[in-house]
Amino acid sequence: MLVIVKNDYEEMSKEAAQIVADRLHKKPNLVLGLATGSTPLGLYKELIRMHKEEGLDFSKVTTFNLDEYVGLPPGHDQSYHYFMHENFFKHINIPDGSVNIPDGLVSDIDAFCDWYEEEIRKAGGIDLQILGIGSNGHIAFNEPGSSLGSRTRVKTLTEKTRQDNARFFKSPHEVPKYAITMGIGTIMDAKEQILLANDANKADAVKAAVEGPLTGQCPASVIQLHRKTFVIVTKDAAVKLSGSYPGTWKSSFMLEQ
């Protein structure tokens, strides 16, 4: 993995956006895995700017989102459908039919999850996956204790995750208890990954993911097994790392030319 420590959130976001843009220039029909939450907002903002000011073209891109709350309709202001359309999709030239987000209202969740996996496979797999990290080390909604080989499925959210997300809802009681999420095995199938973290409260999770043991108790630690992962973090999020990482290789791989 390549660990890159940036001074602040803006620098982190622009670094990530440059990688996405580079891959998109090389492969116009890029299959892009997307995350929600506050962390990737700066990345999406920069990609929107690149689209509007530099002509970055998303017309042939296919996207797959990591997760969605069970029970929230797409129009709910805290659904991830709503989040992605308001903060990214409606500002770029991606066709509606090329956007894939888990459906939290399906009656047969198991069948839907199998279908979602098949759609990823039919698209040729995810070329570049964007990831955040929870303060407990979760990626997507794969909570501590999740199988490292898991596929898309429904998960019960931990109380810690529900507390972390309660700030987005009018009341903590409104936070859903379940979510459909890509599994860790699904995420690891992506050809490349970018994991972002920018808050000091993520410092323990970042250290566990990058330098800790590989364990289901920190699902993000699985990135240590991935061949091409960029870990782009701010100084605040990197404060507990013991190594010296700014712009250096933790383990080497060659960037595509």
Report the distance separating Cα 105 and Cα 74, nearest Å. Answer: 9
Are 141 and 181 spatial neighbours (Cβ–Cβ below 8 Å)? Answer: yes
**Known active-site residue 67:** yes
Task: Identify the active-site residue in 51, 65, 117, 136.
Answer: 136
Burial tier of 146 (Cβ tally within 10 Å: 0-12, 13-18, 19+)? buried
119 is catalytic: no
Euclidean distance between CA atoms 12 and 46, whole angstroms: 11
143 has catalytic annotation: yes
For the CA atoms of 195, 199, 203, 206, what is the dihedral angle to 10 degrees? -10
Sheet containing 229-234: order of strands: 99-100, 62-65, 31-34, 128-131, 192-197, 229-234, 2-6, 248-249
Instruction: Report d(CA 89, CA 152) in Å as an integer.
Output: 23
Question: Closest Cα to residue 204, out of 241, 249, 233, 231?
Answer: 241
136 catalytic? Reply is yes
Catalytic residue among 46, 65, 81, 138: 138
**Catalytic choice (15, 46, 68, 143):** 143
Q: Which of 15, 46, 67, 236 is catalytic?
A: 67
Handedness of CA 45, 175, 171, 144 (dihedral sign): negative
Q: Which residues are catalytic?
A: 67, 136, 138, 143
